[in-house]
Amino acid sequence: MCNTHIPVNIKNQNKHDQEHKFWSRRSFLQALGIAGSGSMMLGSNMLTASAPSPLTAAIANAPTDAILILIRLSGGNDGLSTVIPIEQYDTYRNARPNIYLPESKILKLTDEFGIPTYMNSLEAMWGEGQFKAVHGVGYENQSLSHFTGSDIYANTDLTTTGFTGLDTGWMGRYFENIYPDYLVNPPASPAAIQIGNFGSLVFQGEETNYAFVTSNIDQLEQIAESGVQYSLEDSLFNSCMYGDQLKFLRGVANTTYEYSGLIHEAYERGQNQVAYQDNGFARQLALLARLIKGNLGTKVYMISMGGFDTHGNQPLAHERLMSNLSIAVNNFYDDLAFTEQDDKVLSMTFSEFGRRIFENGSNGTDHGKAAPTLFFGSGLNGSAFVGEHPSLDNPNSRGNLEYTMDFRDLYATVLAEWLCVPIPLVEQHLLNHPYNPVNLGFSCSGVDFPDIVYSDDPPTPPTPQDPDGTDPDPDLLEAIVHKPFYPTKETPHIYLEMPFSAHVDIQLYNILGQNVGTVFNEMMFEGSTEINIRDRMPTTLSTGKYIYRIQVAERKMSKSIMVS
């Protein structure tokens, strides 16, 4: 046998027949590893081009440069560890006596809401109008099953139960209208690219899956670097029962659409101009940035991050996950800004459910309901918390937050107002869910948005000033004292002496001039202070030389500092 996954071991002809009954076309393709764009040649009947869709002309006349990135937080992200309701802080803290975030670990973005300090890489995006969080996203009678919940967020069919539900996805139905003759006349570039097999129902249509799917980032990186999706060396198939068939099918996947080659060409044209972290999620965004900058032409991407099923030891796990996400997203948009493409790319998170208000007995939280959806990108035209946050004082009998925003309304807004899909077709794609758009800062349809609750107007970043509101005296600015010092070899500090109270921003850069993160960004009173760089940074710093830059009003000061 070869290494291809075979669900039923074949020992005789009866088992062989049983295997063919067991495998559906979809599971067979997934087992071969070519689900998605390679599957169109494997239907039992040769399909011919169908009549043009009513959407075709509309798409041709609509903006074509908008790109959507779906970020799946697999496992059920805890919303109360992502967006902290400051006005309900006492209730939040009492419900989570062992895992709550102390006020010192909350980055206050408005008077009402904050994010954990380990997500402080998003602070710059907030200040630049590139970050919105929508409260209380969910749906009526929300499922707490990983499988059912994932399917509902993919197919938008609220009647889904167990393993029964609509087997097409919201994006699959969207692409089905754009490419009515996809099976014989596919688009020049992959309609969608997905990293990770989970949640592939999102792109599933009636006849095929519209995404170019790879199991993991390693596989897509290999395709991007080499232009070859599968090795066709004869030696790999000599001992395989289905060697000839697999070789043919994999050849079809490689040659019919030539998508692997197109991905490779875009990869070669594009460049990353920002240093990303070395973790799976950061690598996914780094590769997407390079493909986008290489003008691949793909409109929708889906990536994922696992590990959010935090029944135990949640604080450390969630800190690691959301720190990685925040840093990578910030780096991604900085990267796109080099080619002025950051305003063309919208990213949104989704997860199969949220988690409960109350902690469990294992320093974690159990499956819950509503949770925030995060949006990123310059196209948002302003940062804000959107919608009504669910009350922590009135949970249901199981301690769940009830939804205040239907997830389908967010999908509809993205389809109609970002991808410029006509509203009647949006409602069709979402199974006749009435169009109820949310004002996320972009508009394509021209409809008037209903009144939407913004939790607070985004505050204007404070201008460094004296306490009386006047600009600091230049002589006082010159009197600021700063220097690196090392109480121990492993603990680099910055000593800062302020002759007046003012807002102080301290950024850390590596020797290549790339921003590593924010060390300090708040008011500092007159006097001296010692700032421990390691304690202030959300991630572990590598050993080496760094440069810190202090900005007070218009004055910028910098020095190098060693991290051991």
pLDDT in tens, 509-562: 876 567 888 899 988 888 888 999 988 886 778 877 788 888 998 888 877 788
Q: Fold for domain 68-405?
A: Alkaline Phosphatase, subunit A (3.40.720)
Residue range 260-281: mean pLDDT, rounded: 95
The bridge status of strand 371-376 relative to strand 131-138 is: antiparallel
- pLDDT for res 284: 97
- Compute the mean pLDDT over every residue in the chain, rounded to the nearest whole number: 81
Residue range 328-336: mean pLDDT, rounded: 97
- pLDDT for res 27: 43
- pLDDT for res 450: 72
- pLDDT for res 227: 79
Instruction: Give the C-alpha separation, 344 to 379, whole Å.
Output: 7
pLDDT (tens digit, 9 = 90+) per residue, 410-430? 999 999 999 999 999 999 999
Query: What confidence tier does 233 reach under pLDDT thresholds 50, 70, 90?
Result: low
Cβ–Cβ under 8 Å, residues 531 and 519: yes
Report the amino acid identity of residue 62.
A
Residue 29 scores a pLDDT above 80: no
- pLDDT for res 246: 56
Cross-strand pairs, 552: 555
pLDDT (tens digit, 9 = 90+) per residue, 106-143? 999 999 999 999 999 999 999 999 999 999 999 999 99
Domain ranges of the chain: 68-405, 474-563
What is the DSSP code (8-state) at residue 473? Answer: P
Q: CB under 8 Å to 442, separation ≥6 — which residues?
A: 346, 379, 380, 381, 417, 418
Residue range 196-212: mean pLDDT, rounded: 81
Percent of the chain with pLDDT over 90: 54
- pLDDT for res 236: 46
Q: Fold for domain 474-563?
A: Immunoglobulin-like (2.60.40)
Residue range 152-176: mean pLDDT, rounded: 90
Burial class of 2 by CB neighbour count within 10 A (0 to 12, 13 to 18, 19+): middle
- pLDDT for res 536: 86
Residue (of 374, 402, 363, 394) closest to 113 by Cα position:
374
For 51, half-sphere exposure in the C-beta direction (CA atoms, 13 angstrom radius) is 1
Least confident of 53-62, 67-76, 197-206, 245-254: 53-62
3-state secondary structure of 508: strand
Question: Is pTM beyond 0.85 here?
Answer: no
- pLDDT for res 471: 62
- Pairwise pLDDT comparison (488 vs 279), residue with the higher score: 279
- pLDDT for res 462: 37
- pLDDT for res 18: 44
Does 68-405 match 474-563 in CATH topology? no
Query: What confidence tier does 48 reach under pLDDT thresholds 50, 70, 90?
Result: very low
To the nearest 10°, the Cα dihedral for 553, 555, 556, 561? Answer: -100
